[in-house]
Amino acid sequence: MELLQRLQRWYTIHCDGDWEHKYGVSISTLDNPGWDVKINLEDTCLRNAQLEYKLIERSPTNWIGCTVKDGSFNGIGGPENLSEILTYFLDEFLPEHIDSEFTYPLHLPMLAHKGQLWLKADASVVSESTLKIVSLSNPLLPNSYEWNLDAEAELLNQIASNLSDMRPAFEVGDVVEPTVY
């Protein structure tokens, strides 16, 4: 997977309707010249990560510096070091600092109602693009579901009588690549 695709997947995992309104990823330029990358870690599996400033200087235009400050990963580098900063974040920083206790809420599609009904679940981070399902809501309880608002009234009538027949498309232990709906 290409570097930008990998970063996009990391961002996608965190888009839950709230996180992307408060936090995010920014890439800008420096005037010396160079790159400035900020990746907010609040409400992510990296929320407790720490990193003292780490500088690798090869020449005046070939260098990177990375740290965690004020709840964000901050990477700066020379004009041709953007990919190195992003690679460091995804290949070294992320795997070394994942909080395995942190879970993300998911909505798993139901086999009989794909695109209309989802079972609530929780998952932990495996990589920048994948999550492992660690728990499922009780499928026998109506409040365990999210549904497409267009189908709400019809679905409520359908599922009220046959909750025991409901099956999610995934199970605990499955590794999934989330999609934003």
pLDDT at 176: 92
Same domain (yes/no): 7, 86: yes
Looking at the structure, tell me whether residues 92 and 155 fall in a common domain: no
The answer to whether the Cα torsion of 145, 147, 153, 157 is positive or negative is negative
Is the distance from CB of 49 to CB of 41 less than 8 angstroms? yes
Q: Residue 132 falls within a domain, yes or no?
A: yes
Pairing state of beta strands 117-125 and 104-109? antiparallel
- Unique residue bearing structure tokens 């679940």: 121
Number of domains in the chain: 2
**What's at 87, amino acid-wise?**
T
Percentage of the chain modeled with pLDDT above 70 = 87
Asked if 15 and 79 sit in the same domain, the reply is yes
- How distant is the alpha carbon of residue 151 from its chain centre? 28
- Dump pLDDT digits (tens) for 98-153: 998 999 999 888 887 767 788 899 999 999 999 999 999 988 787 888 877 655 55
Same domain, 12 and 60: yes
Q: Write out pLDDT tens, residues 42-58.
A: 999 999 999 999 999 99
Q: Does residue 31 share a domain with residue 80?
A: yes
Q: Among 9-13, 102-106, 156-160, 170-174, where is mean pLDDT lowest?
A: 156-160
Q: Does residue 163 register a pLDDT over 70?
A: no
- Which range of residues forms the domain containing residue 123? 104-176
- Where is average pLDDT lowest: 62-66, 106-110, 150-154, 177-181? 150-154
User: 181 lies in a domain?
Assistant: no
Contact between 85 and 62 (Cβ < 8 Å): no
DSSP secondary structure string, the chain? --HHHHHHHHHHHH-SSSHHHH--EEEEEETTTEEEEEEE-TTSTTTT-----EEEEEETTEEEEEEEETTEEEEEE-TT-HHHHHHHIIIIIHHHH--TT--EEEEEEBGGGTTTEEEEEEEEESSSS-EEEEEE--TTSGGGEEE-GGGHHHHHHHHHH-GGG--BS--TT-EE-----
81 in any annotated domain: yes
Domain boundary among 97, 116, 150: 97
35, 69, 97 — which closes off a domain? 97
What are the structure tokens assigned to 149, written together? 């608002």
Same-domain pairing of 49 and 66: yes
Give the model's pLDDT for residue 104: 92
pLDDT on residue 134: 97
Residue 16: name the closest of 146, 153, 168 by CA: 146
Place 85 in a pLDDT band, splitting at 50, 70 and 90: very high
